Amino acid sequence: MNYFSSDFKLGILGGGQLGKMMLYDTRKYDIYTCVIDPSPEAPSRLACNEFTVGDLLDYDTVVNFGKQVDVLTFEIENVNVDALETLEDEGVKVFPSSKTLRTIQNKATQKLFYRDHNIPTADFSRFAHPSEIQDAVDNGGLSYPFVWKSARFGYDGTGVKVVRRYTDLIDLPNVECIAEDLIPFKNELAVIVARNEKGDLKTYPVVEMEFHPEANQVEYVICPARIPDAIAKKAELVALKTAAAFKHVGLLAVEMFQTEDDEILVNEVAPRPHNSGHYSIEASYTSQFEQQLRCILGLPLGNTESKVAGVMVNLVGAEDYTGNVLYKNIEKIMAMEGVTPHIYGKKQTRPFRKMGHVTIVNKDIAVAREIAEKVKRTIEVISE
Amino acid sequence: MNYFSSDFKLGILGGGQLGKMMLYDTRKYDIYTCVIDPSPEAPSRLACNEFTVGDLLDYDTVVNFGKQVDVLTFEIENVNVDALETLEDEGVKVFPSSKTLRTIQNKATQKLFYRDHNIPTADFSRFAHPSEIQDAVDNGGLSYPFVWKSARFGYDGTGVKVVRRYTDLIDLPNVECIAEDLIPFKNELAVIVARNEKGDLKTYPVVEMEFHPEANQVEYVICPARIPDAIAKKAELVALKTAAAFKHVGLLAVEMFQTEDDEILVNEVAPRPHNSGHYSIEASYTSQFEQQLRCILGLPLGNTESKVAGVMVNLVGAEDYTGNVLYKNIEKIMAMEGVTPHIYGKKQTRPFRKMGHVTIVNKDIAVAREIAEKVKRTIEVISE
């Protein structure tokens, strides 16, 4: 198939910031794109060839959208996976596959997949309802502390809770869930694996999520991770094994814990470009977004090495501001060396909403890390 | 002014490949853009917020377009400069200025400007018509060989001709022109200067245009130029002096000759992102397109240094093909290390039409240069 001709159409489910950044590269290659998103104000509404407003969870909407394209991908996991399966049956190339997405969408299934494929992950138990958890604790099958996770679409802070005592269980939503061992870890690491249909595999360098010492929030994504080579090698192998087990086509971002004992445990995966790979736009020979296109279009994989070290800082809405967004001091950070802000184009800010990110590149990672700290102290995402 | 708010509008005259590549960065910063181009199929028609079809040489069209924006720029010199002056009078920020563009638009005026500002350039004479050239030759005021250039919108190959004998003069168009000394040169060099309204100045490294030994066509743009440091320094200083003389706001691409005697002579300038700076997207800390935005929006200038060495190859239509374009072997070049094709999105190819470019980056410039040669031998821009 000739991807560089106007007969070819790439469909993208979701028009958020990930889709928007992927469009830099579809424009670079002049690849025809159709994007669908529920919001008429989605960041991807520009730069694609056709933009449709529609519900990504509605079977008919997704099937009808997918029928008009040659290759279909998604930038968000929360889409109708039955529709993807139907489209695959009808000959549309869907990458990553419906099968992979179905496994990943449900955290219990995802964890079982790791267990079945001998991929190291924290021990866990699966429950249809949180009430069963209490029974398990009472029967001695589970003990505090543990991590409760809702099986479906639990994201950090909403579908995840550390349970230390009985009272922590009381307000949990009544949904399918897992209880996972609470792992004391030295580092949270991530590796993005790229794999195409032929099975060619490449990994990006291991990155490190540096946490705020008090707030326990990821503050910086650092590439390369400041860890010993042997640990990096181990993390890469676990990530490769994971992508190969899924027979994944596309990017797979594998988030891992480096435990106190230097074990590597898979925490969770994302079958798409990922926050932990944003640094790659400025730092890598091939950005994760270009790589995603290469993977799903069956093009040769690009070089995943870095030209320079990179640190990424997320721009989230400041706590006390809601309304029309204002990026205070953005000119000041742009005067700092190797600093590139990415503004996603969401018009309204609210506390902790992801509004953009900033990449800091430098030949010396320690210098990049220092500048990142200055960036973080300087810029503020507030409202008008 | 808050460029990152939706109240701000940037206008771009021209929607060709340069505008298209600038839109990567307006999207990155979420800057609201209005683009006007005579072709409804212009490469920039996507990725801007508003696209208008219109004649860039029509006074009223340009004035009406410019009135709706806060800052106006152009990606092509061939626009109505009277309209720009009117807009400046009405308070629109036009960068680069109408005055600079008026000087540059006419090659005779441009050359006089260099002479007036003591900027080294090849000697020349100015003529209202080619018939006057013959008179000058007859009177001994001019001798063969020399370079004939039409004063207005002569581009390489159309408005330039080496005149070695009387018969070369016969078919010249009857327009205002100059006759310039034919300079034997070792190298053709270029330096892109960035300057903002405050007068902050930065130069990109000197690049070298490598010519095909037989066809006498630029084959590769190489950054950094493979010349002694002293020559590079000299070229940078000439370029800086030129930009300062224009009190230029925006990018100024200064093309120069390194003569057999290691003199640096300005050949011509372009007040915009330039083919000689395309390598910067992949190789530099700040791409020339981002830098142009920084200049014209009064933002701090970005780092002009390179992360890695870069070589650029233009993708032009093969000689014997006209019609719907096909990029033969593009998958093959994408398998080579550090190779990024940029496809401008023109649907029709014709002999020598500029259809795209390819950047090759590598830590080692000699390796990049070798891969560039492979790229050039492999990819073909043909028709279906």
pLDDT single digits (tens) A327-359: 999 999 999 999 999 999 999 999 989 999 999
Check if B367 contacts A (Cβ < 8 Å): no
Closest-approach residue (CA) in chain A for B298: A331
Residue A243: predicted pLDDT = 97
CA separation, residue A356 to residues A278, A349, B276 (Å): 10, 11, 31
Nearest to B195 by CA among B203, B185, B206, B186: B203
For the cut 80, the answer to whether the pLDDT of residue B156 exceeds it is no
Contact of A24 with chain B, judged by CB distance below 8 Å, is answered with yes
* B80 CA to centre of own chain: 18
Would you call B361 an interface residue with chain A, using a CB distance cutoff of 8 Å?
yes
Annotated binding-site residue? B252? no
Look at A340 and B2 and tell me if their CB atoms are within 8 Å: no
pLDDT of res. A234: 98
The pLDDT, as a whole number, for residue A171 is 83
- The pLDDT value given to residue B157: 52
Tell me what pLDDT residue B215 has.
67
CATH 3.30.470.20 fits domain A185-383: yes
Which alpha helices (H) appear in chain A, and where do they start and end? 17-28, 59-67, 81-89, 98-105, 107-116, 130-138, 229-245, 280-283, 288-296, 330-334, 365-378
CATH 3.40.50.20 domain span(s) along chain A:
10-94
pLDDT tens per residue, range A7-19? 899 999 999 999 9
Structure confidence at residue A1 (pLDDT): 62
* Chain A interface, best mutation among B25, B29, B51, B223, by max A CB count within 10 A: B29
> Which stretch of DSSP H or E encloses residue B377?
helix B365-378
State which residue of chain B sits closest to A338, comparing Cα positions: B285
pLDDT value at residue A169: 87
Task: Compute the average pLDDT of residues B187-198.
Answer: 96
Every domain range in chain A assigned CATH 3.30.1490.20: 123-181
Residue A194 has pLDDT above 90, yes or no: yes
Longest dimension (CA), chain B: 63
Per-residue tokens: A310: 């990179």
The stretch A77-81 carries a mean pLDDT of 96
| Single-letter amino acid, residue B37 | D
Joined tokens for residue B337: 């290390």
Q: Which of B300, B334, B337 sits opposite A299 (nearest CB)?
A: B334
Q: Hey, are the CB atoms on B337 and A308 less than 8 Å from each other? A: no
- Provide the residue type at A185 as one letter: F
Residue B23 annotated as lining a ligand binding site: no
Q: Hey, is the C-beta of A23 within 8 angstroms of any chain B C-beta?
A: yes
CA neighbor of A113 nearest in space, from A241, A201, A200: A241
- Distance between CA atoms of residues B11 and A384, nearest Å: 24
- pLDDT tens per residue, range A294-303: 999 999 999 9
Q: By C-alpha distance, which of B84, B88, B68 is closest to B76?
A: B84
Position B304 scores a pLDDT of 98
Among partner residues A326, A345, A361, which is closest to B285 by beta-carbon distance?
Answer: A361
**pLDDT confidence bin for A153, thresholds 50/70/90:** confident
Chain B residue numbers touching A361 (CB-CB < 8 A): 285, 307
Q: Per residue in B312-323, pLDDT tens?
A: 999 999 999 999
Mean residue pLDDT of chain A comes to: 94
% chain A with pLDDT above 90: 86
| A chain contacts of residue B278, beta-carbon cutoff 8 Å | none
Structure tokens at B310: 């870069």
- The confidence score (pLDDT) of residue A66 equals 98
Mapped onto helix, strand or coil, the DSSP state of residue A230 is helix
Lowest mean pLDDT, pick from A169-173, B2-6, B288-292, B303-307:
B2-6
Integer Cα distance of B37 and B354 in angstroms: 17
What residues of chain B lie within 8 A of the CB of A341, using their CB? 28-29
Q: What 3-state class would DSSP assign to A259?
A: strand
Tell me B266's DSSP state. E
CB contact under 8 A, B334 and A285: no
Average pLDDT over every residue of A179-197: 96
For residue B274, the model assigns a pLDDT of 97
Q: What percent of chain A has pLDDT over 70?
A: 97
Q: Is the pLDDT of residue A215 over 70?
A: no
Polymer length in residues for chain A? 384
DSSP B42-103: -GGGSSSSEEEE--TT-HHHHHHHHHT-SEEEESSS-S-HHHHHHHHHTT-EESS-HHHHHH
Portion of chain B with pLDDT greater than 70, in percent = 97
Confidence grade of residue A157 (pLDDT, cut at 50, 70, 90):
low
Binding residues of A for ATP: 107, 149, 180-183, 188, 267-268
Q: What rounded mean pLDDT belongs to chain B? A: 94
**What CATH architecture applies to the domain A10-94?**
3-Layer(aba) Sandwich (3.40)
Residue B217: partners with Cβ closer than 8 Å, 6 or more residues away = B211
Only one residue has tokens 């066809």, namely: B215
Mean of pLDDT values over B216-233: 93
B384 CB near a chain A CB, below 8 Å?
yes
Alpha helix locations (H) across A198-343? 229-245, 280-283, 288-296, 330-334
d(CA A261, CA B41): 60
Q: Is the pLDDT of residue A322 over 70?
A: yes
Window from A9-13, A236-240, B16-20, B160-164 with minimum mean pLDDT: B160-164
Q: Is B182 exposed, middle or buried (0-12, 13-18, 19+ CB in 10 A)?
A: middle
CA pair distance A288, A292, nearest whole angstrom: 6
Q: What per-residue confidence (pLDDT) applies to B154? A: 55
pLDDT, residue B1, reads 62
CATH architecture of A123-181: 2-Layer Sandwich (3.30)
Q: What is the pLDDT at residue B7?
A: 86
Classified as helix, coil or strand, A147 is strand
- Cβ–Cβ contact B51 with A under 8 A: no
Reply yes or no on whether the pLDDT at B27 is more than 90. Answer: yes
Torsion of Cα atoms, B90 then B92 then B95 then B101, to 10°: -30
**Chain B closest-CA separation from residue A123 CA (Å):** 41
Q: Do A341 and B2 make contact, defined as CB atoms within 8 angstroms? A: no
Q: Residues of B with CB below 8 A from A330's CB?
A: 4
Question: Above 60 in pLDDT, residue B155?
Answer: no
Query: Chain A closest CA to B82's CA: distance in Å?
Result: 32
Burial state string for A214-223 with b = 16 or more CB within 10 A and e = fewer than 16: eeeebbbbbb
CATH 3.30.470.20 in chain B, residues?
A: 185-383
